[in-house]
Structure 1
């Protein structure tokens, strides 16, 4: 089973402590949690003082359990890890839409399983498609699916930098630390 605590520790290590980069539209963050997200979760103090335990709870709830990445982890741990990491950086809805788009594009015109709606939510249809894909394609298929999701993620990063030049300050780090960083080459 996927160790969500280890994934959270990796994200917190990558995100670091308090940061308030002038080019970041998300504003100040601590442990990678934006002030806006902390406020929505009931934290009222200065974000620079956000306890690590509060950040861990936010990551577990908003970026693992609520979007049902734990369900994905039961069948494809590497895909779930990618969903979690992308969800932290771009939002869970965007992460799930990458999975759904990739599954639709890889179903050979619905010969292998039916297309699913790209609604950014993990539900029964998304899980059915994922299980069907993995049953048909096996371990290698999980790696290919992960590559497809990362390709969509990389394209979005490039588009963000092209549309807003201030995002170029982050592009190198996004590509270096987010694309392929979870791909161990092991079966998904």
Structure 2
């Protein structure tokens, strides 16, 4: 059975914003490896549209190995987009979800293959509330944003986690790997 891995960036004050953080070569390489070792990534519309930026580096590489490598990895991984307003994805490796998130993720988990990534705050919240997250990989950046959306908002029930490992970057960012303790 495939695992559902919620992988996301946040600031020390718990703000989840793709423009907040300290992206560097090590971080891009980390996420490139994560994408290469995963079978599919799930996005909500807003995050998906932000990630479409990487298509520009496929067409016009930057010359920076870590950025261009991430662009290739994000381009090739299959993406399932949960949206009520998008009519098409305009990205060859992306499709629109045809089922509600609970049914779609449950069916994906039953399939063989590499793990399922979730990279959108809204989907992570929904999947926490559905008890469908198997692992968290939370990258905390050493900064206080002071404004924005908190990562853990509108959570229904208390969830306890076990720390699996950590990974530290030269920038001071740290990835915390957690799994929920299920009784």
Shorter chain as denominator, the TM-score bin is under 0.3
Length-normalised TM-score, structure 2: 0.27
TM-score by length of 1: 0.26
Q: Which has the higher contact order (CA 8 A, sep 6+)?
A: 2
Largest Rg, 1 or 2: 1
The structure richer in strand per residue is 2
Name the structure where helix makes up a greater proportion of residues. Answer: 1
